[in-house]
Structure 1
Amino acid sequence: MKAILTLVLALLLPFFSSITQARNYEDIIKSGYLVIAVYRDFPPYSSLENDQPVGIDIDLGNKLAKSLGVEPRWFWVTPDESLEDDLRNAVWKGHVLDAKKKKADIMLRVPYDREFNYGLDGYGLPRNELVHMFGPYHQESWAIARDTQKTRDVRNLAIFQYEKVGVEIDSMPDNYLSGFLGGRLQKNVVHFVSLKDAAEAFKKGELAAVTGMRSRLQWAMSGLPDPDITGEGFEMLSRRQWDIGVAVKQDYRELANEVEYLIDTWVKGGSMAEIFSQHGVSFEKPSLYTEQ
């Protein structure tokens, strides 16, 4: 029995050490760097251009690191099957297929939503008990960019029974539009690998509209004079808009307090709006600030 227990403990030790070891705030400051997780290939938030990180979250990460007196180091996240997987891989454990890969100190652009943060899994246990989510810095929403010469004054989705609409494949708008009106829009829902590709087709006059996240549509439609981008048509969605914020490992509370203070100052003082404006995106205050 002792031999069996020793073997079990030996097998479990790497797992427990991977979720308990953490750089505290003092360690981060002494090291001189902050590891920041951002999504790969997700403009205008985070991407690489000429091998240089660019985007809203990159600018925010740089500003956070500078304010803490350290340099930023980027941890690029490739989306997994769920957000819980992304948080596990980036924040509290590390990737299951690469145990040697280091974790990030903070992760940007995660939902700031009490229902999600404190939700339970299929066993009735907390889904995100090892993660602390805080510091909302923007409100995102679903939107449609329209060519009003094709859609005219029609602001609902029924117009796409007759006109083509571009969607990023496997996105929420893809699933929603494909099933809308019993599937009557399917023949006019045109799939693209990226929102940028859909926007290029739109600019060439091949589509009447493109759907996606408002901020990404604003970025993708750059160069067009006064593009028509609104949320009209998505009124029946259960979640049309949501706040985005920051996540850290549960025991990184001192770091979280510092970051939360900085973000709150920038949201209230206008610095956050300036970051978004530099990328052609309109800043929307999170509900934490608009509902006060």
Structure 2
Amino acid sequence: MLLLALALALPAAHADLDKIKQSGVLKVAVYNDMQPFSSKEGGIDIDLAKALAGKLGLGVALLPFEAGENLNDDLRNMVWKGHYLGYGPADVLMHVPVDKGLMAENKRVTIFAPYYRDRVRLVRDVRKIPSCESVDCLMGKKVGVEKVSLAAMLLLGEQDGKVRDSVKIYDTAAAAMEAFKAGELDAVLANQSEIEGAVRGDANYPLSELSFQRLPRQGWIVGLAVKKDNEELAKALQAAANDLEATGEMAKIFAKHGVTPTKP
């Protein structure tokens, strides 16, 4: 009976990939306004989606969407079910945390192909803060963070709010970085990718690693997600991602957007 069940399941998995290939298009969900990974102007995830599809001999149809209240919502709406308003699902979702807990909570999806490790970093104007080895260097300075972000939580809560009076809240990390580059801030605490995409290696804006009690030092890894029974699609995308890594094409995509490719 087990062999019969497996035999019946295999054609369905192949049929799904075949259907995508017959359409000639890979539907890829990307987050709205997640610079430098995705925005109206483009981004790493958008270029990576096109490269992955190209390896499969397909074109790309992007499905931009606003993040839900949590990742479970995003996986439901964009991977395995679709939004109740009729948007989605896509064939694959970009920028999904490769996290055991998330995988355990979402049995209807497969999360795989890790392609980047992000971390929280401090960027400072070296002319205003010559060196920085702890949060003490931020006392009396103006430091930007994105509202409702890990960076904001860390900085506002560190050492019982020691540098709380130095913190300036912005709607997005991109807005904080714009204010920083305009000279309105002395530093910004944000994701490394968000910082690098904005400063593009400017020597006046070095990055520092600060130690926070509640910060995972290894950062977090992001990858792809497909519907659980789309096994052949997952295998094809994994092979495509491996090829992009081996040929250096993935590193070129990151470099195009000013971000250091960090292997998971």
In the alignment, which residue of structure 1 is the partner of 2:92? 106
Superposed, 1:99-248 pairs within 5 Å as 100-118=86-104, 127-222=105-200, 224-225=202-203, 227-234=205-212, 236-238=214-216, 240-248=218-226
Deviates more, 1:219-228 or 1:26-35: 219-228
SS of corresponding position for 1:149: coil
Change (3 A) 1:187 1:117: same
| Counterpart secondary structure, 2:119 | strand
Q: Shift of residue 240 of structure 1?
A: 4.6
37, 46, 52: which one aligns with 2:38: 46
Cα pair distance change 1:23/1:92, threshold 3 Å: farther
Q: CA deviation at 1:234?
A: 3.8
1:74 aligns with 62
**1:6 matched residue in structure 2:** none
Q: Which shows bigger deviation, 149-158 or 69-78?
A: 149-158
Q: CA deviation at 1:73?
A: 0.3
- Counterpart of 2:146 in structure 1: which amino acid? E
Cα deviation for residue 238 of structure 1 reads: 3.2
Q: CA deviation at 1:231?
A: 2.2
Aligned to 1:83: 71
Aligned partner letter, 1:79: A
Match in the other structure for 1:30: 22
Would you identify which runs of 4 or more consecutive aligned residues in structure 1 move more than 6 Å? none
Q: How many residues align?
A: 252
- Alignment match, 1:259: 237
The gaps in structure 1 that reach 5 residues or longer are 1-19, 119-126, 287-292
Over 3 Å counting, the alpha-carbon distance change for 1:225 and 1:102 in structure 2 is: same
Q: Cα RMSD over matched residues?
A: 2.0
CA distance 1:76–1:23, change in 2 (3 Å): farther
Counterpart residue type for residue 102 of structure 1: G
Shift of 1:267: 1.8
SS at match of 2:229: coil
Greater RCO, CA 8 A, separation 6+: 2
1:38–1:74 CA contact under 8 A, matched in 2? yes
| SS of alignment partner, residue 235 of structure 2 | helix
Which structure's CA Rg is the greater one? 1
Q: Could you state the TM-score of these two structures normalised by the residue count of structure 1?
A: 0.81
Is the Cα–Cα contact under 8 Å of residues 142 and 240 in structure 1 kept in the other structure? no
TM-score scaled to structure 2, two decimals?
A: 0.89
CA contact (8 A) 2:126 2:204 kept: no
**1:57-90 CA-partner distances (Å, limit 9, x unpaired):** 1111111112212210011120111111111110
- Secondary structure at 1:104 match in 2: coil
